Amino acid sequence: MRRLIRLFVVAAVAVGWQVAVPAATAASTQPAQSAASSCNLGNGVQHVVNLVFDNTHFVRDNPNVPSDLEQMPALLNFIKGNGTLLTNEHTPLIAHTATDILTSLTGVYGDNMGVPISNSFRYYLPNGSSSTGVSFAYWTSPLFDPTPATGTDTTTNMLTAQGLNAPAPWVPFTRAGCNVGGVATANIELENTSIDIPTVFGAGSPQAAEVASNPNQAFSDFVGIAVHCAGGNALCSTANGGRPDLLPQEPGGYTGYQGLFGHKYVVPQINPGGPLTDLAGNVITDTSGRVGFPGFDGMTASVSLSYVAAMQEHGVPVTYVYVSDGHQQHPGTVPYGPGEAGYVAQLKAYNQAFATFFARLAKDGINRSNTVFTFTSDEGDHLIAGPPTPANCDGVSVPCTYAKIGEVAANIKQLITNQTGITTPFTVHSDSAPNFYITGNPSQTNPITRNLERAAGTVTAVNPYSGNTEVVDNTLADQAEMRLLHMQTADPARNPTFTMFAKPDYFLSTFPPTTAINPAFNWNHGDIAPEINTTWLGLVGPDVKHLGVTGKLWTDHSDIRPTLMALTGLQEDYIHQGRPISQVMTETRQDLNRLGDVYKQINAPVGQLSLDSVAFATRATLSNSTGDQTYIAADAQIAAWTSQRNDLAAQMIALLDTTAPGYTNHNDRNVNDLIRQGEQLLAEVHAAAA
């Protein structure tokens, strides 16, 4: 589900990237050395395994059916028995794979890394129409438009609030002498052959020629797997197929580094002597039997963890890995409901893969005493399926079946036209949280914009599951509100006119002829909904407390990166929007813990301030007062809240982010004052929402 991007091409905030003083790094001429001897991390850490699942749940979707993690006891018990499982972890907005993973990789939200809308998005062309962008593209690649319409936006896909290429997540590790592996994790390896291969290998390269002559083999050879090497490390030598690891806008400079890009170049170094097999002993191939990267949809636990184990055993001690969800056949297109036979069988295979993986690492001496493990899921899901049969099925002893299963697909343009008569030309990023791009890109107060917003927020549909007529929309966010929600980028062409967060049963586009169940997809996300925005985070390793399972701490994906930096003793070249989760570490300050709690609620995209403000914004957007004064005044109020929030957040994170550049240990007397100001702002916005 992560990589099945439904394109349907039928028809500078205060808290941001702080750039360090550039300093050129000379190319190393020292002899290659092993990763074990060159990797210089703190706190006794010698290895890092950072794993993100697609749509994998701690909470049960059917109360009788064990949850995804319950059906993977090898993983669940490893986390509970060795560290902490946080069950009150949250997504950014919108809650889709690319945005969620990239937030966890960088520690900043979409407004500071360039991808707040995913897994695809739209962007305005000079003529006022819009075209398609894909969120998955290599770190330094320009915006990727796969449609026949030639795009004109060549800014980098990964973009800071200052309009620069976002700092790359592997850099602190490679500077510390560690090789870093990427296994299907968003944008740190090649994601496509169209734009990423010319970016990394060159338009006239043999690799580009292979794309032209044999595109399927080129995908298996070059996409999905990468190693970014420490300076001078022989693993990524030119003789091994290494290419310059170019990051021309990296804070502090980044020269003299090499990388390996693709299964073709990585596997001979991490599995010398033969083809790589998954943890069950099967040669890793794509669906046509080609030896190589099996495609993002083929990254089952057995496949992904095999790459990781081989990397860890052959000089790549820091690994980022993605694992496909258990809710859909992999590889394949069959969606499952909780407790269906295929769902249970797939999770059983995942459990065996984790058992094999942990045993293999332990045999290698890689364990909680010297390794930081992080495990999370990109987001949760809203299940769209009728009652299970039989009613008491548990999936384990009694399989479940579903007579009705699949999202409610609806044509939002048709609904608007039929019910309101409005025929304003627009396109949407098709989603359960569709983003609207009105042709001509009119202003926020233009009557064309305002009338379409009101229409989108009030149209109804008959839900085929309940048979009831209901308003399709839950909440609306115009550009002022999207700015507060961290959903706007430095590239104004990417900013939609407004966003509609629909009821999560719905998937809205501009072409299905009727409102009907689409059985191809039955797990929706993107919306603002507890089951979507709440997920989990497992932490194991030196300096991680053994707290077992706890839901007491409110965290989100922006906290993963600074926590990883703190646990490995590394400094960043920019300020995060998340903070190290001090409560799970061995040293904490209670006043800063309280400050961190307030900070999350004022700054996180699904924190209290955001949820209250979007309720306020929705009511104002639907208003129709004389001269539209209610809406105009509300937008001014939202802008003021955003400015106040940004100022407070900047002061708070300066005390909380111990991994930021130039951080010094603070004993700041203003902590309590900042807590008070944050609580006052929360109370003000909450009262306005009520």
Do 514 and 420 sit in the same domain of this protein? yes
Do 517 and 594 sit in the same domain of this protein? no
> For residues 566 and 573, is the Cβ–Cβ distance under 8 A?
no
| Alpha carbon distance 505, 523 (integer Å) | 9
Q: Report the amino acid identity of residue 681.
A: L
Where residue 37 falls among pLDDT bands split at 50, 70, 90? low
Asked if residue 304 is part of any domain, the answer here is: no
Say yes or no to pLDDT of 13 above 60: no
Residue with more model confidence, 9 or 404: 404
Say yes or no to pLDDT of 581 above 50: yes
User: Tens digits of per-residue pLDDT, 72-115?
Assistant: 999 999 999 999 999 999 999 999 999 999 999 999 999 999 99
Neighbour tally for 137: CB within 10 Å: 25
**Tokens linked to 588:** 């904490």
Domain boundary among 468, 500, 522: 522
Say yes or no to pLDDT of 463 above 80: yes
Report the pLDDT averaged over residues 176-185.
98
Rounded to two decimals, the pTM is 0.95
pLDDT above 90 covers a percentage of the chain that reads 89
Rounded to the nearest 10 degrees, what angle do helices 73-82 and 341-363 cross at? Answer: 50
Asked if residue 102 is part of any domain, the answer here is: no
Task: State the pLDDT at residue 527.
Answer: 95
Which strand (E) or helix (H) includes residue 634?
helix 629-656
Domain boundary among 522, 553, 580: 522
Report the pLDDT averaged over residues 624-643.
98
Mean pLDDT of the chain: 93
Task: State the pLDDT at residue 29.
Answer: 30
Say yes or no to pLDDT of 16 above 80: no
Asked if residue 649 is part of any domain, the answer here is: yes
CA angle 436, 487, 609 (to 5 degrees): 115
What are the start-end ranges of the E strands in 395-531? 401-402, 407-411, 426-429, 435-438, 460-462, 469-471, 473-478, 498-502, 506-509, 516-518, 523-524
User: Tens digits of per-residue pLDDT, 516-528?
Assistant: 999 999 999 999 9
Domain boundary among 507, 522, 537: 522
Task: Give the DSSP letter of residue 589.
Answer: -
Say yes or no to pLDDT of 453 above 60: yes
Asked if residue 636 is part of any domain, the answer here is: yes
Say yes or no to pLDDT of 154 above 90: no
Task: State the pLDDT at residue 588.
Answer: 78
Asked if residue 502 is part of any domain, the answer here is: yes
Asked if residue 443 is part of any domain, the answer here is: yes
Do 415 and 514 sit in the same domain of this protein? yes
Asked if residue 118 is part of any domain, the answer here is: no
Total count of domains within the chain: 2
Asked if residue 109 is part of any domain, the answer here is: no
CA angle 159, 162, 168 (to 5 degrees): 40
Say yes or no to pLDDT of 223 above 50: yes
Task: State the pLDDT at residue 499.
Answer: 98
Residue with tokens 């080609």: 290
| Alpha carbon distance 310, 312 (integer Å) | 6
Domain carrying residue 663: 589-689
* Secondary structure class of 360 (helix, strand, coil): helix
Closest C-alpha to 503, from 447, 452, 462, 450: 462
Do 514 and 609 sit in the same domain of this protein? no
User: Tens digits of per-residue pLDDT, 315-334?
Assistant: 999 999 999 999 999 988 88
pLDDT above 70 covers a percentage of the chain that reads 94
| Alpha carbon distance 12, 490 (integer Å) | 7
Closest C-alpha to 123, from 106, 144, 102: 144
Domain CATH for 491: 3.30.1360
Task: State the pLDDT at residue 14.
Answer: 32
